[in-house]
Amino acid sequence: MQAGPVAYNRRTYRYVIAAAVLLILVLGFAYAATYSGIGSTSVNATSRGTGGAGPTQTSTPTDGSSASSTQGAPSSTSTSSSSSTSSSTSTSTSVSTSTPTSSSSVSVSGDWLTYHGSNSRDGYDATTSNFTSPTVEWKTAVDGDVYAEPLSFNGSVFVVTENDTVYSISVATGIVNWSFQAGTAANSTQPPYACNGGEPTIAPLIGITSTPVIDPSTSTIYVVALNSGVAFNLFAINTSTGQVRWSSPVGANGFVFTYQEQRAALTLANGLVYVAFSDYSWACGPAYGWMMGLSATGNGTQYSYQITNTSEADIWETEGASVGASGFVYIVTGNSYYNTTYNYADSVLEFTPQLSLVSYFAPSDWAYLGPADLDQGTTGATLLPGNLVFSIGKAGVGYLLNSTDLGGIGGQLASLSVCSTGAWGATAYANGVIYIPCADGIHAVSVNTGPHPSLTSLWNNTFGFSGPPIVAGGAVLALNIYSGALYALNPLTGAVISDVSLVPVNSVAHFTTPSIGGGLILFAGNDSVYGLNP
């Protein structure tokens, strides 16, 4: 079997980055760090979290050989880009009328700025009061299906739809503050999205699928919209007014937007907005996994990385890129239909802020996973304390990795068979326990972050096919994808604290996940947004 490629030389990388940082300092430019890793952050290539830079990567491919330079993968590219300003105005609307069901007051406090609340993607909120019996405070209709997680900032909930619409909704009342139409969504029931008697699972419109991200320092929400017949476009929108600050097309040489899906959440870090791409569930043309980094100001260098130049290895996990304290970027890829040559599919990948590959991990049975359609990339890379990364996919095996050196093929620190039904969407982590959404409910796994990291199963609540969980208000919150009920589970035992039926049976989009804002549980199902009081 041909040896898999190995990673970028860390020692060389550190020297290059040190020189670059010195040049940046001379020019007087510095990135601004923001709350919980959201927004622009400084890049320190020689300090990786709490564990330092780690040794030079010498991952061992399947034939036992090793090397210190990346082989067999496309290199990252960078291009100069500029944005266009827009005079488009937000459209005030009263189409979404709220329906309060209780008269209790709502505390407008606490923000949820990115998918699962932080760039580590842990989905943990420690500020909300304990939930006892959540009830619907308000329900607001929107103009299309919602696949993204609701975000909250400064007293407002932000929701995006497949009709290419961005909404700002009052977290206290459920009344729409403003809405913005980001173009015309694509009709996925027609070519070039539908072909040979099939079409994508997202239908009839594909507009804004991914979870946006908010920069609180500039009061800007970043959204990527598919504009029919045009391109994917990144919009920077004023969170207070709905006015577009600027917009910019998203793409790269060799990128064909009509074949690519943008499901993965956006990530804001290192002065860049990271955008990941995959193919659709029904592919009408060649598509690949892509990572792109666009300037958060709309002007500057755009970076891109094509995962493989053979087929797929796409990034369709909903949480998008995770980013550590030192600015390094982690994503997880799905299948590629290859035979004997490893090509970064079904892998956890680590990049520099400028999207050069640093290290990678693939399960030792990577050659089996692809043909068996057992994507590793059904969930993303959750960053844990102690320089650890957790990843689990369709095969249901959880892997604990070293974030400073992901380990190459079969190089995990620990592994555990969690659920034979596979894990889907995104995990959550709180107080030493990782909560995993499987087709047979939520599994809780203890993580030993000491000198000898390990994983231990704790409990499994078999309430049904679970959406991605979060941990807040003293509970693990997750949706039963089929029944439409939101469950609150005891984090220590898995016992049901409460369950609330929200949407019709068998109508919820895959990977639907709640969030927290203003003391409420926030949830978007189909074409409605809910605020639940504890």
Residue-wise pLDDT tens digits, 376-425: 999 999 999 999 999 999 999 999 999 999 999 999 999 999 998 899 99
pLDDT at residue 197 in the model: 83
More confident residue, 80 or 212: 212
In a domain? residue 489: yes
Q: Categorize the per-residue pLDDT at 83 as very low, low, confident or very high, splitting at 50, 70 and 90.
A: low
pLDDT at 90 over 60: no
Tell me: cis bond preceding 204? Omega within 30 of 0 counts: yes
| Weakest-pLDDT range from 292-301, 369-378, 398-407, 502-511 | 502-511
Q: Hey, what amino acid is at 211? A: T
pLDDT at 150 over 60: yes
User: Would strands 485-489 and 220-227 be described as parallel, antiparallel, or unpaired?
Assistant: unpaired
pLDDT at residue 339 in the model: 58
In a domain? residue 498: yes
DSSP state of 117: G
Residue pair 423/510 in contact by the 8 Å Cβ criterion: no
Residue 235 — φ and ψ, nearest 5°? -110, 135
In a domain? residue 22: no
In a domain? residue 60: no
The helix/strand/coil state of 474 is: coil
CB neighbours of 161 closer than 8 A, spacing ≥ 6?
142, 143, 144, 145, 146, 167, 207, 208, 527
Copy the structure tokens of residue 254. 């060799």
In a domain? residue 23: no
pLDDT at residue 81 in the model: 60
| Weakest-pLDDT range from 64-73, 93-102, 310-319 | 64-73
pLDDT at 498 over 80: yes
| Weakest-pLDDT range from 68-72, 323-327, 370-374, 457-461 | 68-72
Residue-wise pLDDT tens digits, 193-206: 889 888 888 889 99
What is the CATH classification number for the domain harbouring 191? 2.130.10.10
Residue whose token pair is 């690519």: 260
- The total of structural domains in the chain comes to 1
In a domain? residue 55: no
pLDDT at residue 35 in the model: 34
In a domain? residue 125: yes
Residue whose token pair is 């059904």: 378
Q: How many CB atoms lie within 10 A of CB 75?
A: 11
Dihedral-angle region of residue 422 (phi above 0 means left; psi in -120 to 50 means alpha; beta otherwise): left
Q: What is the mean pLDDT of residues 90-118?
A: 56
Residue-range definition of the domain harbouring residue 356:
77-533
Q: What is the mean pLDDT of residues 502-525?
A: 89
pTM greater than 0.75: yes
